[in-house]
Structure 1
Amino acid sequence: MNGKPTRMFMDDPSIQWRNGKPDYSKADEVYLQGRTKHHEVGSLEEIVSNIIKTFEMEAQHKVRAEDFGIVTSDFKMNTNGGRYFTIPNLIERGTYNLFLDDSPLYDASKETRESSDNDFKTTFPDGFSWEVLEVIHGPPKLVFTWRHWATMTGPFKGNEPTGQLLEMYGCVTADVSPDNKLQCVHFYVDANPFISKLRNDRCPLMH
């Protein structure tokens, strides 16, 4: 299947998975149907996409820091210049809580990894897809833009589903090691319009 993502570091039998080795066949189908960019095989955009999709897989499904293969041992990340988080933080708190850490419309301090994962899986049962839009600068100082999207076919914290296609756009800057491992990642995004739509706010927060 042309353009199907490649996720690395999944085949070692000693890996400890959170809920078994993940199957991305459905997620990849949704991604291929909903993406807006078709990157050439072997292009920098495809390589960056596979690195980030591998990172997402590891952060979401692996439970031991030593099983992570796409990051360096001193890896750290933050969003919008906020506090830094490490792999143990990701394992404990989950990607949604760290990514939305300081959003005024999402209080991550009141969420557990399980509660946030369950909320977004309930709201987006068909998946929450992500794509690289444009790589502005290649490694070792990586800069690229991205798009996150999903259709709200399930409720979010008691708010009825709207059936809308919801999209979120942002930018990443990252330091990458010589062997293409993520060392430090900075996410930049305004998640408020996206969260506002999930909450069915009548007067969305404008930016």
Structure 2
Amino acid sequence: MKMEASPNELAFFKEADMVFHASDSIPKTLTTKNTIDRDHDIWPTGSLEEQVQNLVKTWEMESFHKLNPQDIKSVNVAKFTSSVNGRKPLTRDDVAKIGGGYNNFLQTSLPHNLRIYNPNEENVDTALKLFTTTFPRGFAVEILQVYSGPPIIVYKFRHWGYMEGEFKGQPPTGELVEMFGVSIMELDENFKVSKVEFFYDRGELLAGLIKGEAESISQDFITSGASSSCPFS
């Protein structure tokens, strides 16, 4: 199955009558993120790696920012499911019910008093506003390696950005925050994403957001001894 050329993330952003989430700052975020992406790996034009990277960026843009299912062009909306670290696969409706993509990717079994980010207290708009404020220049994704091609694509990715805004009382550090992971993405006969599985350590992201001198940290978090162990598993 030879992969067709994938449009970049801005291709489906410029269409007329597009509806985005209420708190979205997508024009600035996408344009800037696209710029900082160019400073890193640029795959050869037409290569499998470039096509996968374009597809992943487009899928992320549409999944996190577009409100109406009919506006989603990279996904088979009727069949699509996503899962994180072996958890139960979720449909788009399931993800919407738990508060959107950020809550899906940051699900945790930690006790409430040990959660730096608590998905139960966020919704799609508050989460989107939080992360676009924390990363005003975007939280870019790049493909580091593609292990297999379509219809089942397996790839290693890196997400990265600069913490230039506050995060849950943690002051901005201006430092690079990054995380790495592996994903399995399945395409249907029309090269639309029908299933995606992600495997990564959510603590790799959150740990990078609590390096500064906190304005307020839960006393339970401090006295539990969690500050000297890994609180993100």
TM over 0.5: yes
Instruction: Name which one, 1 or 2, has greater alpha-carbon Rg.
Output: 2
1:78 Cα shift? 0.8
1:194 Cα shift? 2.2
Which residue is 1:66 aligned to?
A: 70
1:79 Cα shift? 0.4
Structure 1 gaps, min length 5: none
SS at match of 2:79: strand
Which residue is 1:115 aligned to?
A: 126
1:132 Cα shift? 0.6
| In structure 1, distance between residues paired with 2:38 and 2:109 | 29
Which residue is 1:94 aligned to?
A: 100
Which residue is 2:81 aligned to?
A: 76
| In structure 2, distance between residues paired with 1:190 and 1:76 | 20
Q: Please state if 1:126 is matched with 2:151.
A: no
Q: Check whether the contact 1:96–1:116 (CA below 8 A) recurs between aligned residues.
A: yes
Which residue is 2:59 aligned to?
A: 55
CA spacing shift, 1:66–1:194, aligned 2, 3 Å? same
Q: Check whether the contact 2:49–2:143 (CA below 8 A) recurs between aligned residues.
A: yes
Q: Check whether the contact 1:139–1:176 (CA below 8 A) recurs between aligned residues.
A: yes
Aligned alpha-carbon RMSD (Å): 2.4
1:10 Cα shift? 3.7
Identity of aligned residues (%): 32
1:71 Cα shift? 0.8
Which residue is 1:45 aligned to?
A: 49
| In structure 2, distance between residues paired with 1:109 and 1:199 | 20
| In structure 2, distance between residues paired with 1:128 and 1:135 | 21
* Count of matched residue pairs: 201
TM-score, normalised via structure 2 length: 0.77
Q: Please state if 1:9 is matched with 2:12.
A: yes
Describe how 1:175-194 pairs up with structure 2 within 5 A.
175-194=186-205
CA spacing shift, 1:45–1:17, aligned 2, 3 Å? same
CA spacing shift, 1:11–1:161, aligned 2, 3 Å? closer
| In structure 2, distance between residues paired with 1:90 and 1:204 | 30
Structure 2 gaps, min length 5: 1-6, 212-225
TM-score, normalised via structure 1 length: 0.86
CA spacing shift, 1:103–1:121, aligned 2, 3 Å? farther
1:191 Cα shift? 1.5
| In structure 2, distance between residues paired with 1:103 and 1:167 | 22
SS at match of 1:187: strand
Report the AA paired with residue 13 of structure 1: A
Which residue is 2:149 aligned to?
A: 138
